[in-house]
Structure 1
Amino acid sequence: MRIDQLDVVLRARSGWEAVELGTALVRRHARAIWLPWVLLGLPVFAVVNALAWWADAFGLAWLLMWWLKPLFERLALYVISRGVFGDAPTPWQALRAQRHWGWSGFWGYLGWRRFSPLRALMLPVNLLEGSSPELRGARRRAIAGGAFGHAVLLTLTCMMFELVLVVGCIATIFMFIPFELLSDSWRAAWAMVRTDTPAWAKLGFNLACWLAAALIGPFHVGAGFGLYLNRRTEMEAWDVEIAFRRLRDRLQQAAPLLVLALVLGWPGGTLHAQQAHGVDELAAQDAHADTDPNADANADANADADADAEDEDAEAEDAADEPALTYDNDPANRPESVFGTASVDTAGFRQAVQRAYEDPLQSPTRTVVRWEPSRKDAADKDKKKAGDADADKGNARPKGPVLPAQIAEWVLWGLVGLLLLALVATAPRWLRWLRGTGTRRRAPPTAVVEDDIRVPDEVPPDAAARARTLWQQGRPRQALALLYRASVESMTERTQTALPPGATEAQCLRASRRMPDEADRTLFARIVRVWQYAAYAGRLPDDAEFDALASTLQQQFRWRA
């Protein structure tokens, strides 16, 4: 599964949070779910009820539609499972995909698993994972282990919602019956149901059951899919994996800069480079010595002299003390090792072997001298000096890198200093609590200022001038209310509509869309927004904004100056 392309935020959720996530996915893809559900369900409903009417078994039609409900749930699961990756199919694509998608693990839900209360949680296991039949049982048990209770309660809750919708549809009929005739109508309806229910009543009941299932079914599937996602997140740590993938992507982008910084800032980079350069020079000298015919004698003499002068080169001493392997001292060159007990003249063979040993390509033996820093000797010398200095105390303190320790000590002292400064700065707040006088005083409640807005019943023709007067008198809400009232009256005149008494701002905005001029619509939306900010949020415009708004309204709506 491409969890890095998921369109939801993965984290460890509780069971009911996972249910809410699934219902949110259903609301996001509502059109792609309910349209194919209705397009597929209406023909099936018509065919099933026609067969039931022909067989005079209307009572079994709703049961058959209920039994075929998993067929429609496949549609919702297909849309949600694609939409969670940002690839939501269209309604026609969802319908076409049902011909070949998910049939291998589905037939059990039209058979022995139809009564399972875990159907919404288990459908993704069978239809989305594509595991083999022998592994599905273990997989279902693992998924249901931590969500069994939530899945059962989810199924019962959806069943209750469907029951309430069906009862509500039936009760809606009696709401249109006058109250004085309600008891007689109820008795007549009950008698009709008990004795001989007409076909139209049975068809209406079946339609109500199907509509309730079509409305609640997608939410049932979506909530089960949310539980399934949450269980896989808990079991497989998807949220942690996504975090590590994002961290890897960020590190890959910054990898060249990190490598360059390490190369340039490594403390021993210069020393290692110099040592590598020295090793290359020694290797070049060794190669030159191999090509020089007198190099062996010179190398032996120099090796003896260096061995007498420098005892710390252990590798050179081992190489000098080890006897060279030649034809004479090699046990494998003895006649009995090669030819056994047979009497054979091996003079030619001896000469050939001797020439082979003399060939420098067959026995490339050479002496390599390496320069290495004598850190051990330097450490011993430091210990010796420290031991001489602390001879009276009888112990030697080894010298180590003290710079990091000093930096850490300075940081700790800096933190202590900051803590002391914070305590001194906040002393007026906490010192009185230590003294016992830290009683909290409740601030006196501020008086509520009520601004009674009075607008005349009839809007004056010079509304802008009156509004400016009210603004200068220090009554800004009155001024904005007058501008809003005059704008609403101008809008109704230009749209030729009548607003109901007490119309809200939203109703006025919807009515203003009928104005033919775009400038009029924009200006009316502006005055509505300014009035809402002032009336409900207490945000008043400044003098310049108010004067510009009044002038624009006066010019656009042709008020008298």
Structure 2
Amino acid sequence: MNLDQITIEIRPRSAWEAVDLGVLMARRWWSPMMKIWFIVSLPFFLLSLLFPQEKLVWAAVFIWWFKPLYERPLLYFLSHAVFNEMPDLRSTLKNCISLFFKQFFLSLTWRRFSFSRSMDLPVLQLEGLTGGRRQERLMVLHREDSAPSGWLHILGFLLEIFVAMGVMSVAWVLVPNEINIDWANVFWDRNSNLADYLLHLTAYVAMWLMAPFYVACGFSLYLNRRIKLEAWDLDIAFRRIVSKRQLSQLLSIFFVVFCFGCVDSQSPVYAQDEPVYQTAAEESAVDSEILGEPTHLHRESSKKSIEDLMQQDEFSHKETVKRLRLKDQDEDESTFIRWLIEWLDRSDVESLGLGSMFELLLWVAFFVLVIIFVYRYRHWLSAQFVRVGSAPPAKEKPVTLFGMDVRRESLPDDVNAAAKALLQAGDHRAALALLYRASLAHLIYSGIEIEDGFTELECLKIMKFDLPKLARTKEDAEYAESRIEYFSLLTSVWRRLAYGHLLPDERELLQLCSSWNQCWLKEMGAKA
């Protein structure tokens, strides 16, 4: 480490000013850091795609869990770039394997949840400390300016969520209007996993974009603490002062010092003769007078003086330290339990604050279980959700939609027979119009809030979203799925005929006429 070659201004900074410096460092070397992170993380992303389609949530967890490994090559690059030793991409990737296996297991288990991971990584990777020495070093570094590392962890996670949403929004904006994509069907269709793949990809892109800033800010906090602890700024200042001195000035100074040292004394100096004492007691008394010590010391008075001195505030500071210890164990206690407690009683573990660590793990496990439960049973929860309070006033049901009467009274008793009769008469448009307005009427009176002014696609979208909520049993859910499939096909055929003037296929139209009664006359929630 050559401080003369450092490429940043060395001076003590506040904690958040050091974070700002980290942002500038990430912006300066953003391109090579992005390339390094992408190349290192790409194999893990490809492995995550091998997860089953119904387990893509765990694929995202897989990518997230190994993030500490992707960050190590970035720190390797930064630690050299800051000292003007810019490594190339090949040399950085060449050191990845050795970087990965440094305390691999600990970094991916209980240290994975450390909120100060970005600031602690240089201690492991650059200083190479382990065990108790590592804990002592971290305690010194965390005495000041370590709080932003925790906030950096939280803000980084939130920014990843916002960036993922932004990436999806940009993708949605860039899709041309001519490409008709049913986004509601993409995200809510149970038979399609396209939304899961999109979320997985955007989460990966968000991690990619945020990684250089996270690593650079943590490294900047680490450098700032070392600057304060080791006075790098003073070291550099003294080096600059020495380098500015001319050789002639240094020689003149040495010459003056040499001349003063060589000046002889004007008067000779002689040693004093050794005094002669008659007895040993006389010699001891003279020595006592010279040292200013009393001739006789009383043991009791000395003890009292020491006790009074120890009672002063400077020597009476007391500190209570709590630590784990083994209780009185029974003879039949499990050997594994005793080993676990002894391991937790080690100094390098207890210095982390085990209570806080276990509490954090419990809260994380609780929230993960809640998220998994809500995601797994989201459809059931949405169907079971009941609003508390007064019910909102019922909206008036529309009478006409698309110029068609959608009241039940306007429908024939047998929609199937009436549609087939129109089809046999050659009036395809009237047959489709009857099937479409009859389907709309049943949706409206089933509780689907279709308003006047909706388009055909908006009616289909609101049906796909609201109809599964009305299902109370598994049989109701199957009826809802069949109605969604029927109405999707009917809407597509109707739009082609109404706007494109394309006649539907005879078999397709006959199938729609024949299956209408079977699909719509069975009431959801009724027993067969």
State TM-score, norm by structure 2. 0.47
Structure exhibiting the larger radius of gyration computed from Cα positions: 1
RCO higher in structure (CA 8 A, sep ≥6): 2
